[in-house]
């Protein structure tokens, strides 16, 4: 139980740290947010919990393919935000990401990469 609480605390600390840095510097906050810190933590947790090499490698492999369809959101969010406000922009961005992900998964399926 202590291990699980530690994982939560360290992971939450990273998210809070990045949000606090972003308040002070858009650039540094963006840089920290763009780093795969959560994925690195997950890989560390998996290793420390005894997951197999194949399982850890597969997690990294699929993370790569899942990141790509999320990238357009970061281009469109600032453009939509000025027109629609935060909440509608966030909703539109999430819907757009789901649609792009579905299309991306269908495309990759043709090449033997199964995301869904």
pLDDT single digits (tens) 99-113: 999 999 999 999 999
Q: Quick one: tokens of 104?
A: 């991306």
pLDDT in tens, 2-39: 989 998 999 899 889 999 999 999 999 888 888 888 89
pTM above 0.75, yes or no: yes
- pLDDT band at residue 81 under the 50/70/90 scheme: very high
CA atoms within 13 A on the CB side of 9: 6
Nearest to 16 by CA among 106, 47, 8: 8
Q: What is the mean pLDDT of the chain?
A: 94
**Residue 108: partners with Cβ closer than 8 Å, 6 or more residues away:** 65, 114, 115
- List all residues 6 or more positions away from 94 whose beta carbon is below 8 Å from its beta carbon: 73
């Amino acid at each position: 139980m202590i291990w699980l609480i530690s994982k939560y605390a360290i992971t939450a600390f990273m998210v809070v740290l990045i949000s606090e840095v972003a308040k002070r510097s858009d650039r540094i906050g963006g840089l920290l947010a763009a780093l795969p810190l959560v994925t690195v933590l997950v890989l560390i947790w998996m290793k420390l919990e005894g997951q197999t090499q194949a399982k850890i490698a597969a997690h990294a492999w699929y993370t790569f393919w899942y990141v790509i369809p999320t990238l357009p959101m970061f281009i469109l969010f600032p453009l939509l935000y000025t027109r629609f406000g935060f909440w509608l922009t966030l909703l539109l961005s999430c819907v757009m990401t789901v649609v792009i992900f579905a299309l991306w998964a269908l495309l990759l399926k043709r090449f033997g990469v199964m995301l869904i």
